[in-house]
C-alpha cells in the first residue's frame, strides 16, 4: 500500500462571505505528479496555499506524514530586485537544514545563470528558474508549484521541466502542479484534479481522460463545462 503524503479532511476556506474552497477530502501519494487545473478563480491557488500552510483553513484539517518538508513556488512571489543570486543562496543555506548547494548551482546552470546576477535584472523565465532552484535545493518531500512557468517562453519552459523531472526521479516526492498549460499536464501528470468554482469536481488518472476523449484538451474542456450545484460552506 502506497504511503500518503497529504490527506485533507473536510478542508475549506472562505474569505469573509466569499467561499474560495468548498469542503474537500483528497489524498495524495509520494512518487506521483498531480496536475491541478481549472479556470481562473476556481480555487486552485487557495488549495495550494492551504497545503503549503501559508494560510489557515476555515474548516477542516490536513494530515502530513512525519518528517515532511514542503517546497513552494508561486508565479507572483519572488525576491527583492537588488538581491544577487549568491545572496539568495547564502540566505537559504544558513536557515535550511537540508540545503544542497550542488542542486542550486546545477539548476542555475540549466538556466544559464550566474551568482553575481541580480534578481530584478532577470527575465521572467530566469526568475522562474531561480525560484525552482531554491525549492529543489531545499530537498522537499512535497512540491507545490503554483503556475511555476506562467508567462515564460518555450525555451525557459523546457528548462524548467528538465530541472523538475531530473530531481523528481531522484527524490520521488509528491508533486501538486497548478497549471493552465495542457502540454505540461501531458508531459508531467500522473493524475489530474479539475476544480470549478471552489470545488474539486474530478480526480483521476490522466490516461483515463485519454481513453474517454480524442485528446486530453477535449477531456478537460468537457469537465470545465460541468455545472454542478455547490453547497454553501456552512451546510456542507
Name the 3-class secondary structure at 139. Answer: coil
For residue 3, the model assigns a pLDDT of 66
pLDDT bucket at 1, cuts 50 / 70 / 90: low
Q: Cell 488549495 maps to which residue?
A: 47
The predicted pLDDT at position 24 comes to 95
Cell, residue 235:
451546510
pLDDT in tens, 174-226: 999 999 888 889 888 999 999 999 999 999 999 888 888 888 888 888 887 76
**Kind of pairing, strands 174-178 and 32-38?**
parallel
What is the per-residue pLDDT across 87-122, written as a single tens digit (0 to 9) for each? 999 999 999 889 999 999 999 999 999 999 999 999
Model confidence at 227, pLDDT cuts 50, 70, 90, reads low
How confident is residue 233, by pLDDT bands cut at 50, 70 and 90?
Answer: very low
Closest CA to 75 of 177, 171, 195: 177
pLDDT digit string, tens, across residues 33-89: 999 999 888 999 999 999 999 999 999 999 999 889 999 999 888 999 999 999 999
Residue located via cell numbers 468537457: 222
Nearest to 166 by CA among 106, 92, 105: 106
For residue 154, pLDDT beyond 90: no
- Between 222 and 170, the more confident residue is 170
How confident is residue 155, by pLDDT bands cut at 50, 70 and 90? confident
Where does the pLDDT of residue 14 fall: very low under 50, low under 70, confident under 90, or very high at 90 and above? very high
Amino acid at each position: 500500500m502506497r504511503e500518503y503524503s497529504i490527506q485533507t479532511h473536510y478542508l475549506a476556506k472562505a474569505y469573509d462571505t466569499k467561499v474560495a474552497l468548498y469542503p474537500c477530502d483528497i489524498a495524495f501519494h509520494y512518487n506521483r505528479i498531480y496536475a491541478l487545473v481549472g479556470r481562473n478563480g476556481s480555487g486552485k491557488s487557495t488549495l495550494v496555499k492551504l497545503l503549503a500552510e501559508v494560510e489557515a483553513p476555515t474548516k477542516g484539517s490536513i494530515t502530513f506524514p512525519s518528517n515532511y518538508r514542503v517546497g513552494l513556488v508561486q508565479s507572483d512571489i519572488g525576491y527583492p530586485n537588488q538581491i544577487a543570486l549568491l545572496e539568495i543562496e547564502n540566505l537559504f543555506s544558513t536557515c535550511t537544514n537540508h540545503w544542497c548547494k550542488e542542486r542550486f548551482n546545477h539548476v542555475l546552470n540549466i538556466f544559464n545563470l550566474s551568482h553575481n546576477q541580480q534578481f530584478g535584472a532577470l527575465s521572467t523565465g530566469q526568475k522562474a528558474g531561480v525560484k525552482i532552484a531554491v525549492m529543489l535545493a531545499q530537498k522537499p518531500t512535497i512540491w507545490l508549484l503554483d503556475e511555476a512557468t506562467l508567462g515564460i517562453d518555450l525555451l525557459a519552459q523546457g528548462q524548467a521541466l528538465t530541472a523538475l523531472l531530473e530531481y523528481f526521479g531522484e527524490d520521488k516526492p509528491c508533486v501538486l502542479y497548478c497549471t493552465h498549460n495542457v502540454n505540461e499536464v501531458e508531459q508531467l501528470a500522473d493524475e489530474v484534479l479539475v476544480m470549478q468554482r471552489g470545488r474539486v469536481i474530478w480526480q483521476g488518472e490522466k490516461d483515463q481522460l485519454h481513453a474517454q476523449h480524442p485528446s486530453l484538451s477535449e477531456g478537460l474542456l468537457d469537465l470545465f463545462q460541468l455545472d454542478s450545484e455547490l453547497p454553501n460552506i456552512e451546510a456542507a
